[in-house]
């Protein structure tokens, strides 16, 4: 839709957006991404909290991996091209973004599989401290996969699952808690949970904290080491822009590594994988979190995608993220008639991730129409419009335009 068809008086907010874009210290980073769509239309992409945009460095790197490393070097690439050690090497790159010193993050498998490894291994560590620890506390609004896997992990380890609101985890944990599994940012509401305070309370109860960082990594400082997190997992296809199905990661704090007893002890985590020993001897360090052969093409695409972060302070990302979501909320308030939408994302900065979720009637058809008009967010049933803001490539003028188009769409739909 052309701007000329939009009637809402917007002049001061468009001026403000232009000024914010001009002052944006991350603005140049946008050029590192492909954001044009196939028609050449300028889409406002606000779905980087589901699938991040393509970093421009990736296609050429992948072409080289396929044509040269695989095509010409073939088997030699496991060593000569650094394929074998890619999970740890790329894990360290992810670690820099989530506040983990080298040697504690390994990349591979899906988030779901890493939740399984982390929760079972954490229960085993907790039960070494006391066999009576038979409860896994899970945040009740969790992304479903975490809940399903926690249930299965509980059955395997003789535990039961107790689901509580994430904010109640600090008071719910006690002498029977083995592990608390919490999402750092809620995928539906965008609420940021208190990682330092919750982790401290879980520790005070003698239990271990496992965090799912899918919606916070690359959007805000996580500080895994600084806050004493025990284990953490996350995906790399959202704010880390690793690509569809990009490998996930597992953080095992150094202090737990000697006792990390993986429920999936594959040959890649063996101390001497090519010894082909029938007996399992775990490797030292983060390598213990590996399972089988890594998916090299996806993994090296991720490595190229992460180069974008080399000179980016995560604090600058957080500052811009909050400015973007603040500005979007103000534009929505100005343009959308009162009562038509209700933000379920907290207003307080300390409780907000990098998305805005608006509850409204007819959210499904409204999002379909928004996408048709070039504003891409997503719809979460039954009534949530989700807009994700990726500070590395989202601009303020786009945010203003998204809110204006939203107002027009809501005027026409329902």
Ligand X SMILES: Cc1ncc(COP(=O)(O)O)c(C=O)c1O
Q: Binding-site residue total for ligand X (CB under 6 A)?
A: 13
- Can 129 be counted among the known catalytic residues? no
82: left (phi over 0), alpha (psi -120 to 50) or beta: left
Dihedral, CA atoms, 162, 168, 172, 177, nearest 10 degrees? 60
Site string for ligand X, 140-169 (x = CB under 6 A): ---x-xx-----------------------
Using CB distances below 5 to 8 A depending on partner kind, what does residue 110 bind out of ligand 3DJ, ligand X, none? ligand X
List Cβ neighbours of 95 (8 Å cut-off, separation of 6 or more).
Answer: 101, 102, 104, 105, 224, 251
List Cβ neighbours of 128 (8 Å cut-off, separation of 6 or more).
Answer: 259
Distance of alpha carbon 209 from alpha carbon 201, whole angstroms:
9
- Can 143 be counted among the known catalytic residues? yes
List Cβ neighbours of 61 (8 Å cut-off, separation of 6 or more).
Answer: 300, 301, 303, 304
Segment 167 to 186, residues that bind ligand X, using CB under 6 A: 183
The annotation status of 237 as a binding-site residue, yes or no, is: yes
Distance of alpha carbon 295 from alpha carbon 108, whole angstroms:
8
By CB under 6 A, residue 50 contacts ligand 3DJ:
yes
Q: For residue 215, give the nearest of 357, 91, 348 by alpha carbon.
A: 357
Using CB distances below 5 to 8 A depending on partner kind, what does residue 81 bind out of ligand X, ligand 3DJ, none? none
By CB under 6 A, residue 127 contacts ligand 3DJ:
no
| Sheet containing 135-139: order of strands | 105-107, 249-252, 231-234, 208-212, 177-183, 135-139, 160-164
399 exposed, middle or buried (CB, 10 Å; 0-12, 13-18, 19+)? buried
Q: For residue 220, give the nearest of 332, 83, 46, 354 by alpha carbon.
A: 354
Joined tokens for residue 358: 């608006």
Q: Rank residues 170 and 218 by Cβ distance to ligand 3DJ and give the closer one.
A: 218
Q: By beta-carbon distance, which residue lies closest to ligand 3DJ?
A: 187
Distance of alpha carbon 88 from alpha carbon 252, whole angstroms:
12
Instruction: State the minimum distance, in angstroms, from the CB of residue 63 to ligand 3DJ.
Output: 24
Active-site residue, from 194, 212, 230, 378:
212
Instruction: State the minimum distance, in angstroms, from the CB of residue 143 to ligand 3DJ.
Output: 6
By CB under 6 A, residue 239 contacts ligand 3DJ:
no
- Can 386 be counted among the known catalytic residues? yes
The annotation status of 78 as a binding-site residue, yes or no, is: no
Q: Rank residues 111 and 199 by Cβ distance to ligand X and give the closer one.
A: 111
By CB under 6 A, residue 214 contacts ligand X:
yes
Task: State the DSSP code for 62.
Answer: H
Joined tokens for residue 301: 């695409």
Instruction: State the minimum distance, in angstroms, from the CB of residue 140 to ligand 3DJ.
Output: 16
190: left (phi over 0), alpha (psi -120 to 50) or beta: left
Q: Which stretch binds ligand X (CB under 6 A): 18-26, 39-47, 72-80, 110-118?
A: 110-118
The annotation status of 267 as a binding-site residue, yes or no, is: yes
Q: Which stretch binds ligand X (CB under 6 A): 209-217, 285-293, 302-310, 375-383?
A: 209-217
The annotation status of 112 as a binding-site residue, yes or no, is: yes
By CB under 6 A, residue 33 contacts ligand 3DJ:
no
Using CB distances below 5 to 8 A depending on partner kind, what does residue 111 bind out of ligand 3DJ, ligand X, none? ligand X
Contacts with ligand X, residue ranges (CB under 6 A) = 110-112, 143, 145-146, 183, 187, 212, 214-215, 235, 248
**Residue set of the binding site:** 111-112, 143-146, 212, 215, 237, 267, 293
Contacts with ligand 3DJ, residue ranges (CB under 6 A) = 50, 143, 187, 214
**Residues recognised as catalytic:** 143, 212, 237-238, 386
């Amino acid at each position: 839709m052309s701007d000329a068809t939009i009637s809402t008086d917007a002049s001061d907010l468009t001026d403000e957006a232009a000024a914010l874009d001009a002052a944006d210290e991350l603005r140049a980073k946008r050029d590192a991404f492909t954001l044009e769509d196939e028609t050449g239309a300028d889409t406002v992409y606000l779905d980087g909290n589901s699938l991040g945009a393509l970093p421009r460095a990736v296609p050429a790197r992948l072409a080289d991996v396929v044509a040269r490393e695989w095509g010409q070097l073939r088997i030699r690439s496991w060593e000569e091209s650094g394929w074998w050690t890619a999970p740890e090497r790329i894990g360290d790159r992810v670690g820099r973004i989530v506040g983990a010193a080298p040697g504690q993050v390994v990349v591979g498998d899906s988030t779901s599989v890493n939740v399984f490894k982390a929760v079972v291994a954490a229960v085993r560590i907790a039960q070494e401290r006391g066999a009576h620890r038979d409860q896994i506390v899970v945040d009740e609004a969790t992304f479903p996969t975490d809940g399903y896997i926690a249930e299965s992990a509980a059955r395997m380890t003789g535990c039961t699952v107790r689901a509580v609101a994430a904010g109640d985890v600090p008071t719910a944990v006690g002498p029977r808690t083995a592990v608390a599994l919490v999402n750092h940012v809620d995928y539906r509401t965008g609420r940021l949970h208190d990682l330092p305070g919750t982790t401290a309370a879980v520790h005070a109860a003698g239990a271990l904290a496992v965090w799912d960082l899918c919606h916070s990594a690359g959007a805000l400082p996580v500080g895994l080491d600084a806050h004493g997190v025990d284990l953490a997992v996350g995906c790399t296809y959202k704010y880390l822009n690793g690509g569809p199905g990009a490998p996930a990661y597992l953080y095992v704090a150094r202090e737990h590594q000697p006792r990390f007893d993986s429920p999936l002890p594959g040959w890649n985590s063996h101390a001497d994988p090519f010894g082909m020993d029938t007996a399992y001897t775990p490797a030292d360090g983060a390598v213990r979190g590996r399972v089988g052969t890594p998916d090299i093409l996806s993994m090296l695409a991720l490595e190229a995608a992460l180069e974008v972060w080399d000179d980016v302070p995560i604090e600058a990302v957080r500052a811009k993220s909050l400015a973007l979501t603040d500005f979007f909320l103000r534009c929505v308030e100005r343009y959308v008639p009162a009562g038509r939408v209700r933000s379920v994302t907290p207003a307080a900065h300390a409780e907000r991730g990098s998305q805005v979720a608006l509850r409204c009637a007819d959210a499904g058809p409204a999002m379909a129409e928004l996408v048709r008009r070039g504003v891409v967010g997503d719809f979460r049933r039954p009534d949530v419009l989700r807009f994700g803001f990726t500070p590395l490539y989202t601009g303020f003028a786009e945010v203003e335009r998204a809110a204006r188009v939203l107002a027009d769409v809501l005027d026409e739909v329902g």
